[in-house]
Amino acid sequence: MSTPAPGLNEVLQRTFAFPKPHFLSVTDLNEVEVANLLDLAESFVALNRQTSKKLDLLAGRTLMNLFFENSTRTQSSFELAGKRLGADVVNMSPRSSSIAKGETLIDTAVTLNAMQPDLLVVRHASSGAASLLSQKVTCSVVNAGDGQHEHPTQALLDALSMRRACGRIAGLKVAICGDIAHSRVARSNIAMLQMLGAEVRLVGPPTLMPSQVDRWNVAVHHDMRKGIAGCDVVMMLRLQLERMDGVMAPSQREYFRFWGLDREKLAHAAPNVKVMHPGPMNRGVEIDSDVADDLTVSLIQDQVEMGVAARMAVLATLAARLDNER
Ligand code: CP
């Protein structure tokens, strides 16, 4: 095991137990609990930048990744997070499992649960899937994205990236732009950013706004330049064509003209604006490469890095809760 990074020992002594047995939604946390998780994640950032990155907080624990939808960032960062904390990590691929033979979601989860994992990280195309599984298993379930509903660890890593780049979250003006209707990232971010005191605006075409957006207590803009005017953070979302039933957006070229983030539109935001995108990006559709790759404004690679630290904080605190239950 490595020597903990400066300050890590102190934080680890303060590692608290997660408030609930599962992490299914941003609403499982309150403002203080989010701040504690961000502080813990911050110390894992330092650890992850060391040559030796291993701790034994999860030694003896088993983490199973069960991803029914494709993932690059979330799955690999949960795997790294588990391994860096000393857990045994198993990645279950539905394509090569008995799901391909027709085994149901619940039977799959109950079967895996019989192998006594401690933590089950689930991504599924159906809203509510992680919550449903949490009622069928005895281990802790983490929602790694359920349909259009929530992606709570994405909101946590986004908050960490924003806090590091801007020094605070309270009072920031944050524009979330693009395909809001199909975005679990938007839903989790709105809940977390409002909890932490940011002003959230939604920007996009009417066809890509949720039908009940007027109940969300956020300003909605259908003009990109006006929507991002004066914003400290512009968070772009992927156009999720795979979730669209019919034609909800114009051609990709036309979409980019009206809703794609380029230098000209970005000039309407605050002078020190930061640009975010959860990935994967459609370059030239919702964001111009010139903006995405400019490290003076783009936090996109920071978001990926913060994903490992934020997920380590979630796993460590869920494991601390399991330890307390012994
Ligand atoms: N942001 C995100 O969830 O990315 P992946 O789909 O690659 O996990």
Q: pLDDT of 213-243, one tens digit each?
A: 999 999 999 999 999 999 999 999 999 877 7
Q: According to the annotation, is 151 in a ligand binding site?
A: yes
Write down the domain spans for the chain: 8-150+305-325, 152-303
Looking at residue 212, what is its pLDDT?
92
* CA-76 nearest atom, ligand 1: 8
* Residues near ligand 1 (Cβ within 6 A): 71-74, 145, 154, 278-280
Nearest CA to ligand 1 atom 6: 71
pTM: predicted TM-score of the whole model, two decimal places: 0.95
Q: Which of 221, 251, 244, 236 is CA-nearest to residue 298?
A: 236
User: 152-303: which CATH topology?
Assistant: Rossmann fold (3.40.50)
Decide if pLDDT at 2 tops 50: no
pLDDT digits (tens, 9 = 90+) for 59-81: 999 999 999 999 999 999 999 99
From the CA of 115, how far away is ligand 1's center (Å)? 27
Contacts with 200 (C-beta within 8 Å, 6 or more apart), sequence order = 174, 176, 189, 190, 193, 194, 218, 219
DSSP codes joined into one string, 22-81? -B--GGGS-HHHHHHHHHHHHHHHHHHTSS-----TTTT-EEEEEESS--SHHHHHHHHH
List C-alpha distances in Å: 37 to 34, 58, 244.
5, 17, 34
Annotated binding residue 238: yes
Residue 84 marked in a binding site: no
**What's the whole-number mean pLDDT along residues 310-326?**
93
| Predicted local distance difference test score (pLDDT) of residue 1 | 46
pLDDT in tens, 104-163: 999 999 999 999 999 999 999 999 999 999 999 999 999 999 999 999 999 999 999 999
pLDDT at 165: 98
CB 189, CB 223: distance < 8 Å: no
- Of 265 and 103, the structure prediction assigns the larger pLDDT to 265
Look up the CATH architecture of domain 8-150+305-325.
3-Layer(aba) Sandwich (3.40)
Name which residue leads in pLDDT, 68 or 9.
68
